[in-house]
């Protein structure tokens, strides 16, 4: 039996709580507190209200909610004592028909988990796409999360509870996703083409890359777009407007990946607008402007160590000298393009005329934990962080670990440790500022020798350049002071400097309005990672819409994930944005 939002908005409290009784396991208090937020303008607004009730609950109430959930393949499942919803979910994924070995593994995991955390392991077994997780995936997830700290696992359990509730609400309201499932399925199709047999690697102009391009071109064509693959491998689909003298709004992202990467980084921002254009095309609906979807061929720099090749060509900043760069096998970029059927001499013709462009809006998985921590499916990006990178080499003096007194040492590694803490301290002083020492090496280090040398990397990012450069100046001055005090020589080499890219306020306002019209607050956040939008800002105003990233916000990794429902939320917001778009 399904229910409608108007019914839920007008019924009495008892009926409201009864209608939602199966959504959160044995916890009617959640609905009782959410009712004060009526009327709900959308199913997303209802989800937000229910989740807010849980967030505002006491720790004991949250713990009680977690303990209300049954163990996976536990005694309640075997004895038929599950709620109807839980029984359906565990049955769908085959947890009620495990092999003897799988049952034994799950039961031991349940015992170990309860002994460590004091509440049952909770997982939305229908998975990110709602179709159900394989039993081995459930077991491997169980084993991985057993290693969490208790505070992190409590947060993850609550997120999984919200996901379970979200799926149950879809069933209760008969909510079939228009776009989310298509986006997830498309990502699965593209993930089958990889340069490596394990994991997903799709580097520039490899066989996997070319097959991915061909598939994207086919989907664009089927969606009613005019399609071409340009001289650098960008796949470009144009949904043509009927309006006279129409200009072009551009969207898109990249389809290459890092080594052993995730399925959604970049690719969500291509699959989502293709799904929307297909929807518009099927309805015979045109926009008052041309909509161009660009699948940028290269952003990650994996094969030729040069990033943003696709978007640099679009903005007329492709450096033709890059054609001489070689990959690990000695193949030049020029040769790779020719071999794939792309004439390099046509690259200069790719550049767009800024006067023809209305703006660029990129949809992208967040690649971080902010939306996850805020229980928000989407966010509006305010700025793409600028980035300063350095390699620092420290030179001390070797000495015997047992015979050199501590005050007489010139320990390069000890200086490096102090620098790491300096970076952590200084970069904690501004909201959007982050600093990372990702590489730290003691060349030829020995267990019983004081390190004579140490090298470390330094990565500083911030949403605005003043904040970033102020931190850089302080940290470099601090390095000088540390090394002078310790008698350590040092060199600093700048390896990268990219300015911050602010998003256009007029585009952000329209994205925010679209989100709020769909019952989702327009949460503002910065992007610490680089995106094609940074390049596109050279010729037009840009904006970005982030989709929540699961599994703790991990990205560039096989565990990178999102849900069909979050993809749906982003797509509905983007469709609303497109329909109501007004040029500046």
pLDDT per position as a tens digit, 504-553: 999 999 999 999 999 999 999 999 999 999 999 999 999 999 999 999 99
Question: Which pLDDT score, from 0 to 100, does residue 116 have?
Answer: 97
Percentage of residues in the chain having pLDDT higher than 70: 98
pTM for the model stands at 0.92
Question: Which pLDDT score, from 0 to 100, does residue 94 have?
Answer: 78
pLDDT, one tens digit per residue, over 262-272 is 999 999 999 99
Give CA separation, 431 vs 373, 463, 472, in Å: 16, 9, 16
Burial class (CB in 10 A: 0-12, 13-18, 19+), 315: buried
| DSSP for residue 33 | H
Question: Which pLDDT score, from 0 to 100, does residue 79 have?
Answer: 58
63 vs 72, residue with greater confidence = 63
pLDDT, one tens digit per residue, over 280-307 is 999 999 999 999 999 999 999 999 999 9
Tally of CA atoms within 13 A in the half-sphere of 250 that contains its CB: 27
Domains of the chain: 5-173 (1.10.3330.10), 180-382+501-580 (3.40.630.10), 386-498 (3.30.70.360)
Q: Taking a C-beta distance cutoff of 8 angstroms, is the pair 12, 181 a contact? A: no
Structure tokens at 436: 């990372």
Which residues pair with residue 399 across a beta bridge? 450
Question: What's the rounded Cα separation, in Å, for the pair 333 and 130?
Answer: 41
Structure tokens at 240: 């043509």
Closest C-alpha to 123, from 84, 73, 52: 73
Question: What's the rounded Cα separation, in Å, for the pair 558 and 156?
Answer: 18
Q: Mean pLDDT, to the nearest integer, of 195-220?
A: 97
Residue 149 — pLDDT band, cuts 50, 70, 90?
very high
Closest C-alpha to 106, from 75, 127, 63, 148: 75
pLDDT, one tens digit per residue, over 94-126 is 787 888 899 899 999 999 999 999 999 999 999
Question: What's the rounded Cα separation, in Å, for the pair 271 and 186?
Answer: 7
Task: Give the SS3 label for residue 160.
Answer: helix
Q: Taking a C-beta distance cutoff of 8 angstroms, is the pair 378, 570 a contact? A: yes
Contacts of 260 (CB under 8 A, 6+ apart): 196, 198, 199, 200, 201, 557, 558
Question: What's the rounded Cα separation, in Å, for the pair 187 and 212?
Answer: 10
| DSSP for residue 288 | S
pLDDT, one tens digit per residue, over 398-445 is 999 999 999 999 999 999 999 999 999 999 999 899 999 999 999 999
Phi-psi region of 64 (alpha: psi -120 to 50; beta: other; left: phi over 0): alpha
Residue 311 — pLDDT band, cuts 50, 70, 90?
very high
Burial class (CB in 10 A: 0-12, 13-18, 19+), 449: middle
Closest C-alpha to 352, from 308, 316, 320: 316
Task: Give the SS3 label for residue 273.
Answer: helix
Closest C-alpha to 95, from 113, 119, 121: 121
Question: What's the rounded Cα separation, in Å, for the pair 494 and 14?
Answer: 65
Residue 199 — pLDDT band, cuts 50, 70, 90?
very high
What value, to the nearest 5°, has the Cα angle with vertex 178 and ends 173 and 182? 125
Burial 276-311 (b: 16+ CB within 10 A, else e): bbbbbeeeeebbebbbbbbbbbbbbebbbebbbbbb
Question: What's the rounded Cα separation, in Å, for the pair 412 and 454?
Answer: 6
**CA quadruple 568, 574, 578, 579: dihedral positive or negative?**
positive
Give CA separation, 62 vs 17, 33, 142, 155, 213, in Å: 18, 14, 21, 10, 47
Q: Does the N-terminal peptide bond of residue 39 adopt cis geometry, omega within 30 degrees of 0?
A: yes
If you compute the radius of gyration of the chain from its CA atoms, what whole number of angstroms results? 26
Q: Taking a C-beta distance cutoff of 8 angstroms, is the pair 575, 217 a contact? A: no
Residue 83 — pLDDT band, cuts 50, 70, 90?
confident
| DSSP for residue 453 | E
Residue 93 — pLDDT band, cuts 50, 70, 90?
confident
Question: What's the rounded Cα separation, in Å, for the pair 103 and 122?
Answer: 17
Average pLDDT value over all residues in the chain: 95
Percentage of residues in the chain having pLDDT higher than 90: 92
Question: Which pLDDT score, from 0 to 100, does residue 56 have?
Answer: 97
Residue 77 — pLDDT band, cuts 50, 70, 90?
low
Tally of CA atoms within 13 A in the half-sphere of 337 that contains its CB: 26
Q: Taking a C-beta distance cutoff of 8 angstroms, is the pair 79, 71 a contact? A: no
Helix/strand/coil percent split, the chain, to 5: 45, 15, 40
What torsion do the CA atoms of 22, 26, 27, 31 make, to the nearest 10 degrees?
20
Closest C-alpha to 237, from 245, 247, 246, 248: 248
Question: What's the rounded Cα separation, in Å, for the pair 525 and 547?
Answer: 12
Q: Taking a C-beta distance cutoff of 8 angstroms, is the pair 169, 175 a contact? A: yes
Question: Which pLDDT score, from 0 to 100, does residue 75 have?
Answer: 64
């Amino acid at each position: 039996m399904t229910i409608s939002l108007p019914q839920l908005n007008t019924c009495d409290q008892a009926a409201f709580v009864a209608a939602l009784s199966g959504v959160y396991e044995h916890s009617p208090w959640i609905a009782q507190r959410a009712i004060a937020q009526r009327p709900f303008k959308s199913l997303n607004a209802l989800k937000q209200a229910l989740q807010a009730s849980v967030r505002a609950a006491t720790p004991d109430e949250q713990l009680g909610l977690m303990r209300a959930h049954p163990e996976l393949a536990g005694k309640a499942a075997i004895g038929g004592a599950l709620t109807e919803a839980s029984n359906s979910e565990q049955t769908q994924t085959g947890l009620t028909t495990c092999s003897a070995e799988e049952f034994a593994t799950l039961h031991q995991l349940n015992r170990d988990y309860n002994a460590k955390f004091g509440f049952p392991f909770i997982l939305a077994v229908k998975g990110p796409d709602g179709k159900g997780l394989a039993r081995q995936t459930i077991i491997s997830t169980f084993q991985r999360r057993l290693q969490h700290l208790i505070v992190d696992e409590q947060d993850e359990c609550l997120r999984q509870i919200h996901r379970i509730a979200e799926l149950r609400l879809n069933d209760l309201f008969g909510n079939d996703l228009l776009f989310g499932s298509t986006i997830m399925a498309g990502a699965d199709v593209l993930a089958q083409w990889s340069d490596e047999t394990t994991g997903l690697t799709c580097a520039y102009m490899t066989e996997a890359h070319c097959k991915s391009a061909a598939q994207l071109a086919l989907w664009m064509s089927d969606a009613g777009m005019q399609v071409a693959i340009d001289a650098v491998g960008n796949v470009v689909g144009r949904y043509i407007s009927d309006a006279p003298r129409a200009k072009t709004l551009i969207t898109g992202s990249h389809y290459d990946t890092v080594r052993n990467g995730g399925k959604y980084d970049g690719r969500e921002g291509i699959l989502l607008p293709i799904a929307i254009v297909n929807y518009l095309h099927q309805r015979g609906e045109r926009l008052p402007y041309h909509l161009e979807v660009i699948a940028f061929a290269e952003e990650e720099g994996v094969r030729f160590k040069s990033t943003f090749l696709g978007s640099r060509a679009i903005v007329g900043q492709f450096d033709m000298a890059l054609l001489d760069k070689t990959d690990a096998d000695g193949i030049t970029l020029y040769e790779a393009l020719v071999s794939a059927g792309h004439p390099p001499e046509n690259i200069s013709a790719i550049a767009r005329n800024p006067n023809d462009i209305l703006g660029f809006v990129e949809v992208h998985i967040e690649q971080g934990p902010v939306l996850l921590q805020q229980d928000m499916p989407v966010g509006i990006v305010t700025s793409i962080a600028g980035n300063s990178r350095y390699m620092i080499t420290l030179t001390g003096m070797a000495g015997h670990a047992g015979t050199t007194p501590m005050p007489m040492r010139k320990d390069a590694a000890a200086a490096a440790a102090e620098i790491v803490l300096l970076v952590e301290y200084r970069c904690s002083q501004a909201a959007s500022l982050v600093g990372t020492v990702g590489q730290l090496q003691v060349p030829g280090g020995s267990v019983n020798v004081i390190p004579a040398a140490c090298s470390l990397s330094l990565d500083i990012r911030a949403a605005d350049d003043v904040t970033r450069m102020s931190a850089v100046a302080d940290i470099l001055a601090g390095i000088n002071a540390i090394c002078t005090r310790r008698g350590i020589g040092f060199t600093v080499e700048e390896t990268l400097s990219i300015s911050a890219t602010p998003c256009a306020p007029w585009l952000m306002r329209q994205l925010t309005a679209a989100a709020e019209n769909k019952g989702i607050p327009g949460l503002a956040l910065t992007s610490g990672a680089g995106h094609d939008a940074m390049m596109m800002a050279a010729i037009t105003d840009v904006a970005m819409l982030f989709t929540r990233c699961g599994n703790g916000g991990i990205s560039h990794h096989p565990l990178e994930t999102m849900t069909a429902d979050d993809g749906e939320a982003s797509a509905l917001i983007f469709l609303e944005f497109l329909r109501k778009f007004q040029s500046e």
